[in-house]
Structure 1
Amino acid sequence: MDSLKLIGSAPDRGTEVCVFPSLKELRIENMPALEEFYGGATQWLPCLKTLYVFYCPKLRVFPNLPCGLSKLSINNVSWVTLPQLCHDQVEASSSSSSLSSLEIYSCGDLVSLAEGLLLHPQLFTSLVELVIQNCSELTHLPIRGFGKFTSLKEIKVKVCPKLRNSSIFGRFLPSLLHTLVIQHCDVLDPLPNKAPQDLDFLTRVIISGCANIKSLPLAEVLGRWKALDHLLLKDCSQLESLGGLQALPSLKHLEVIKCPSLVADDSSSLSTSLAEHPSSSTSLILDEIHIDDLSLLSTMPLKSISTRELHLKCCIDFQSSALEEWALKNRTLLQVLYIRDVSSWQFPLEELQSLCCLQVLDVYHCRELQSLPKLPSSLKELWLCYCSSELEERCLQDSGPDWPKIQHIPTVQIGNYDKETLAAITLEEHNRRTRE
């Protein structure tokens, strides 16, 4: 069907007949020449529940969508706006649209969501999942953002570089939202900064590649996001402040990577925030913190936050003094320390021995690591992978000068492999022995 350009006939060409009145799923795929698709009836496919339209890059004309449709997924279609709902069904039905999942991928001609399908948010009481990805020309969201889509639980907007900063949600987030992912939307500031709102279900927020975001919301906003336990901020070049981060009561996993503009010490604004919202001054205890800039550990609010796992990734300027100071404050809590891809570091971290609860030390690809300091007696696992040959020699069993520092550790792995490789090797060896 590579040359097929038209399916059906225009509604003004004769009697409208619904050809498949009981059809529940329709897939229109891999029709590179298709330009027009006509349903043939005002209420075409009235029982349709699932519609997939994939790789129809010239498709411009499409019939109105039935109200009973529950899933719509489109990929590489040349629609400028989405089709509308069938007017007759909307007027005749006392219920709203049944659409629960909407996925839009790689629609390079799509300009606006303010017209067509999503024009009337009040009709979409069942919509729980929305994915928009790789829509290079998409400029306009629904007129009042997605805040009016009250049943939305998951929103993912990725690689839509022209989305205008008219606020993705309007004034409020959908109250039932539990997952928010915004990636590579350069001119969009995706978070509401001023309107306090109780969000009892929001657990996961990922903001990546959004150059326009300058600050997280203040404590008066974040303090009411009671369920948020996972926050990732990455490649946000203009992010200057973590706002009221310390007010998130359930936060467990924090990742801040490639955010070079974060203010060195926003102590004045933080003092004001704490004075206005004293409950936010309580020190958070997280499960994991991932960062690529050690200076963040000596600034607020991270300076006042404790964690059981600390992941350091690609720290260009590894200032061990910042880590030592932070480690002293967390010596009775920190259990796992991961250090990845640090090139200018020689491990002068003598305070490691004071980490009395540390159980796992995992150092990966730190070529300048020449020797080890004294390690805590609590350590149960030591991983030194893709480090220097000098370090391997110093850790040789019985003969290496660093061997006395590690001989008390139950699990020690040193060499050019990582945990995943070792696990595969161990499994292969186990299978070989089993066959024998």
Structure 2
Amino acid sequence: MKNLDSLGLYWGLIPQFIDSFPKLPTAQLEVDVSGSGIARQPEEVIEGLQPHKNLKKLVINGYPGIKFPDWALPNLVAAEFTNCRSCEHLPALGNLPLLKTLSLQGMHGVQSIGTEFYGDGTYIWFPLLEELSISDFANLKEWSSANDGNAFRRLKKLTVKSCPKLAHIPLPQSLQHLELRNCNPTMVPVADLSLLSVLIIDKIPDLVYLPEGLFASASLSSLKILSCPKLHSMPLHMQNLSSLKSLTIRWCGELSSLPQSLQNLKALESLEISGCGKLTSLPDGGIAGLASLRTLSIENCSELTSLSSSLEQLTLLEDLTILDCPKLGSFPAGVQHLSSLRSLMVLNCPWFDSLPEGLQNVKTLHCLEISSCGNLTALPEWLEDLASLRSLTIYDCPNLKLLPLGFKLLTKLQHLSIQECPELEERCRQRSGEDWSKIAHVPHKYIGPPQVKRSAEASTSGSSSVQESSQ
């Protein structure tokens, strides 16, 4: 089949393909002259399935053999080997001249990656490979680099996941995207990768500290540190990250402080800190220097007592989320200076009993969400000053009893959702009442408990009925 570009070979039951093919008759067991059954070995079967040299993409899933065939596929561009659990050695792929993407997953029999992977008869291995993913190698202990570093010269993206016994990986200087997930902490690189722009460290339970060398790359634009429960500190010197635009720190329960050098991240546009139970405050003045910040999200920080007194410096901030911070004393001051704020979300914060006065001066606000704030009793009369407000969500605020008189002046409001606010719900359901007249102009309304489902077509019938929207 010389015109075949892509070939997938699947052993066993593949759930996503169950309905794709008709049920085949049970194969007859081949018999020899003596009448005995002959069981075909997996290696013999796969040899008989050798594709033409023109093949560009190869997928092998569930292959039960111990070794792979030695196929010559000079035009192969992409390859994927999945759940070949009995294989003890990887196929020789390093001498494929056009291979660009390679994924290896679920090979528990492989204990080392060495010369058999790189191949023979060439001086440069994996000459065009750009993306490499290695995951779920439960017994992999060693990954040796090719001689003289003549491998992976163009590798841009490397993902290593669920390789708990692997202590070291070769890292080419060409690397731009690195993901380490559920791995040994010794695998976290110390050396500077000058071209690295994306770094993700996820589910490394024994990681205690991050090497300073990680934070020396001036090209790093995105950094995610996720689910590292023993990480107790960040490197003190982060000022070299002059290109960093996104920083996410999530579920690092022992992290108690952030470095003062955080304020030097002048290019940072997005900051998320979530699930850091021992973090009590952000560095003093640390937010003020983030002149480019557009998104700030602080979530599930149970011991956080203060954000920053310099919130007013964030004149480019567009999205602010505060979620599950029960010890935060009050809303940060200076909100009136957030001249670019478009979205504000406050969720599950018992200290939140009213909207901050300064918010009435923010004329750019489009979206406001207040959820699980039991001490909120009323919305301010100046809510009508939020002339640009398009979406308002109020959820689980049981002590909120009425809407302000100027609510009907919010002429740009397009979506209104009120749930788990029993008194306010009842008042709004009385369509002849005062509160109903305040919200009648809103095109998309949802008033009531979340489990209620009714047709969203009700609001288009011409009558003033409640639209049950899942927005």
TM-score normalised by length of structure 1: 0.70
Partner of 1:194: 237
Match of 1:312 among 340, 346, 350: 346
Change (3 A) 1:234 1:56: farther
Counterparts of residues 308-347 of structure 1 (less than 5 Å): 308-315=342-349, 317-321=350-354, 323-325=355-357, 327=359, 330-340=361-371, 342=372, 344-347=374-377
* Residue 337 of structure 1: how far off its partner (Å): 0.9
Q: Which amino acid aligns with 2:353?
A: S
1:235 aligns with 2:275: yes
* Residue 338 of structure 1: how far off its partner (Å): 0.9
Query: Which whole-Å CA distance do the structure 2 matches of 1:80 and 1:392 have between them?
Result: 62
Counterparts of residues 373-388 of structure 1 (less than 5 Å): 373-375=404-406, 377-378=409-410, 380-381=412-413, 383-388=416-421
Deviation string 1:277-324 (CA, Å, 9 cap, x unpaired) is xxx984333111111137376458989766221012233x14215x42
Counterparts of residues 144-163 of structure 1 (less than 5 Å): 144-145=189-190, 147-148=192-193, 150-163=194-207
Match of 1:127 among 155, 176, 179: 155
Match of 2:393 among 359, 362, 365: 362
Instruction: Check whether the contact 2:253–2:276 (CA below 8 A) recurs between aligned residues.
Output: yes
**5+ long unaligned stretches in structure 2:** 1-10, 13-38, 45-49, 166-182, 462-471
Greater RCO, 1 or 2 (C-alpha within 8 Å, sep 6+) = 1
Q: Which amino acid aligns with 2:104?
A: I
* Residue 100 of structure 1: how far off its partner (Å): 1.6
Partner of 1:210: 252
Partner SS, residue 206 of structure 1 = strand
Partner SS, residue 237 of structure 1 = coil
Partner of 1:14: none
Query: Which whole-Å CA distance do the structure 2 matches of 1:145 and 1:249 have between them?
Result: 30
Match of 2:402 among 357, 371, 390: 371
Change (3 A) 1:123 1:312: farther
Query: Which whole-Å CA distance do the structure 1 matches of 2:421 and 2:295 have between them?
Result: 31
TM-score normalised by length of structure 2: 0.65
Change (3 A) 1:141 1:425: farther
Instruction: Check whether the contact 1:133–1:160 (CA below 8 A) recurs between aligned residues.
Output: no
Partner of 2:225: 182
Query: Which whole-Å CA distance do the structure 1 matches of 2:87 and 2:319 have between them?
Result: 47
1:103 aligns with 2:133: yes
Partner of 2:456: 425
Partner SS, residue 28 of structure 1 = strand
* Residue 229 of structure 1: how far off its partner (Å): 2.4
Deviation string 1:113-170 (CA, Å, 9 cap, x unpaired) is xx4359998954533333344556621454734742x444444443343456453x73
Q: Which amino acid aligns with 2:237?
A: K
Larger radius of gyration: 2
* Residue 211 of structure 1: how far off its partner (Å): 2.7
Query: Which whole-Å CA distance do the structure 2 matches of 1:181 and 1:86 have between them?
Result: 31
Q: Which amino acid aligns with 1:144?
A: P
Match of 2:316 among 279, 282, 285: 285
Identity %: 23
Change (3 A) 1:19 1:173: farther
Change (3 A) 1:404 1:40: closer
Q: Which amino acid aligns with 2:276?
A: C
Q: Which amino acid aligns with 2:401?
A: Q
Match of 1:59 among 64, 87, 90: 87
Instruction: Check whether the contact 1:130–1:154 (CA below 8 A) recurs between aligned residues.
Output: no
**5+ long unaligned stretches in structure 1:** 9-17, 271-279, 431-436
Query: Which whole-Å CA distance do the structure 2 matches of 1:59 and 1:411 have between them?
Result: 60
Change (3 A) 1:281 1:327: closer
Aligned residues: 390
Instruction: Check whether the contact 1:215–1:240 (CA below 8 A) recurs between aligned residues.
Output: yes
Query: Which whole-Å CA distance do the structure 1 matches of 2:279 and 2:149 have between them?
Result: 32
Q: Which amino acid aligns with 2:426?
A: E
